[in-house]
């Protein structure tokens, strides 16, 4: 394994963000949901055991389906409370869109220290004292105001209601709590799902990739500076409308948003969950800055991006629909019959990720934490 492969595989197979089932008993939820289904038969279309981007369900007695997702961005609020709250909301909205929904309502919860206590906002916030000279000391109330504004600005950009939530000042930890739940209505004929469906399907990226949201690379020692994901407001709206336009063609076979570990995680999870493989040319992805490395294109968590998969003969129709609202889209790869995902840049192999790492490989990843 090269360093890039270790970083991505650690994110995919060890880090709990992508392995919630290791700490949450999904089988218990399944048993519960089967029991409740006797009262409301057929209401739950996609539940937690599917490990997809969001839940899809029908309110009994109402037409259509609801798409819902809960997201937290607690730790990022220490260095950048405004952007972290905004990207938490935007990420949950993208998850709703990725299932074929349009987000409509948001609930939020914020937990913090008592409002008159001082907090450090900036790169040194986790240590409790500033050594870089770039941090700001402010009251907990002032930090709350920044988080609320981030949430509100993202909702304004996406035309999403804030309908309620909760607030607590009983938190004593350095890290505040920022949790959002987003609800939307399904606008596609049936839910879109993450797993790859067909060998030969083309992989299209919607949106532009930058070098922010690089914590996976930072933990692996591939980059020297951690750059949290930057909130993108107009870009989120454009990407959402482009994705919805693509959905309108009825040609989308699989879809996912690009969250933690970026293109790498989205492609690998889609292929693995579909018991297929993929081949991706990272040099085809639209990028926002010059000098971005292949590793950054592969793994960075830049916001406002989606991946969709379509049959080869549907590419032109789908690309035309996307470009009716955004020119930032490209075909970057295809689904294969391999049991792995291969990522290249200008003909050079960047990473090859197996769907089923050996026990020895997994133990190695656990011991070095992806470094």
Are 66 and 96 in a shared domain? Answer: yes
169-178: pLDDT as tens digits: 999 889 999 9
Are 231 and 142 in a shared domain? Answer: no
Check pLDDT > 70 for residue 369. Answer: no
Are 141 and 228 in a shared domain? Answer: no
206 phi and psi, to 5 degrees? -110, 125
Check pLDDT > 80 for residue 259. Answer: yes
The domain boundary, picked from 133, 162, 186, lies at 186
Give the pLDDT band of residue 128 (cuts 50, 70, 90). confident
Give the pLDDT band of residue 19 (cuts 50, 70, 90). confident
371 DSSP 8-state letter: -
Q: Which residues of 228-248 are buried (b: 16+ CB within 10 A; e: fewer)?
A: bbbbbbebbbbbbbbbbbbbe
Three-class secondary structure of residue 175 per DSSP: coil
- Please give the pLDDT value at position 370: 45
130-168: pLDDT as tens digits: 988 989 999 999 999 999 999 999 999 999 999 999 999
Check pLDDT > 80 for residue 216. Answer: yes
Q: How many domains does the chain have?
A: 2
Mean predicted confidence (pLDDT) in 240-251: 98
CA-wise closest residue to 306 among 329, 282, 336: 329
CATH number where 179 lies: 3.30.1330.10
Assigned domain for 295 exists: yes
Per-chain mean pLDDT for the chain: 95
Assigned domain for 309 exists: yes
CATH number where 348 lies: 3.90.650.10
Mean predicted confidence (pLDDT) in 21-38: 93
Please state, for a pLDDT cut of 90, what percent of the chain lies above it.
87
Mean predicted confidence (pLDDT) in 45-74: 95
- Please give the pLDDT value at position 194: 97
CA-wise closest residue to 255 among 62, 120, 67: 67
317-344: pLDDT as tens digits: 999 999 999 889 999 999 999 999 999 9
Three-class secondary structure of residue 111 per DSSP: strand
Are 151 and 233 in a shared domain? Answer: no
Residues 6+ apart with CB under 8 A from 87: 73, 76, 150, 154, 229, 230, 231, 303
Three-class secondary structure of residue 257 per DSSP: strand
Assigned domain for 327 exists: yes
98-109: pLDDT as tens digits: 999 999 999 999
Residue 175 domain boundaries: 53-186
């Amino acid at each position: 394994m090269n360093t890039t492969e270790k970083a991505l595989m650690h994110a995919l197979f060890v880090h709990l963000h992508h392995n919630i089932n290791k700490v949450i008993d999904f089988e218990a939820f399944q048993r519960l949901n089967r029991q409740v289904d006797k009262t409301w038969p057929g209401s739950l279309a996609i539940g937690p055991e599917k490990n997809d981007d969001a839940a899809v369900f029908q309110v009994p007695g109402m037409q259509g389906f609801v798409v819902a997702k809960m997201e937290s961005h607690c730790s990022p609020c220490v260095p950048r409370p405004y952007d972290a709250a905004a990207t938490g909301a935007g990420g949950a909205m993208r998850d709703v869109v990725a299932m074929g929904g349009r987000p409509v309502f948001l609930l939020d919860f914020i937990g913090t220290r008592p409002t008159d206590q001082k907090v450090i906002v900036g790169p040194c916030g986790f240590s409790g004292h500033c050594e870089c000279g770039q941090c700001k000391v402010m009251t907990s109330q002032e930090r709350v105001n920044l988080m609320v504004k981030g949430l509100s600005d993202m909702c304004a950009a996406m035309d999403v209601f804030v309908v309620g939530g909760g607030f607590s000042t009983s938190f004593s930890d350095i890290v505040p709590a920022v949790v959002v739940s987003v609800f939307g209505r399904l606008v596609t004929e049936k839910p879109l799902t993450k797993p790859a469906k067909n060998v030969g399907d083309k992989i299209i990226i919607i949106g532009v990739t930058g070098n922010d949201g690089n914590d996976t690379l930072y933990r692996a020692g591939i980059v020297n500076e951690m750059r949290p994901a930057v909130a993108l407001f107009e870009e989120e709206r454009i990407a959402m409308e482009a994705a919805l336009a693509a959905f309108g063609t009825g040609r989308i076979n699989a879809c996912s948003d690009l969250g933690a570990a970026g293109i790498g995680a989205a492609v690998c999870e889609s292929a693995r969950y579909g018991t297929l493989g993929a081949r991706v040319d990272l040099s085809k992805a639209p990028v926002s800055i010059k000098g971005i490395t292949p590793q950054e294109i592969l793994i960075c968590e830049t916001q406002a991006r989606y991946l969709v998969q379509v049959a080869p003969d549907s590419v032109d129709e789908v690309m035309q629909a996307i470009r009716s609202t955004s020119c930032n889209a490209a075909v970057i790869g295809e689904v294969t019959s391999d049991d792995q995902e291969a990522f290249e840049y200008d003909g050079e192999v960047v990473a090859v990720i197996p769907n089923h790492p050996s026990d020895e490989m997994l133990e190695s990843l656990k011991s070095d934490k992806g470094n």
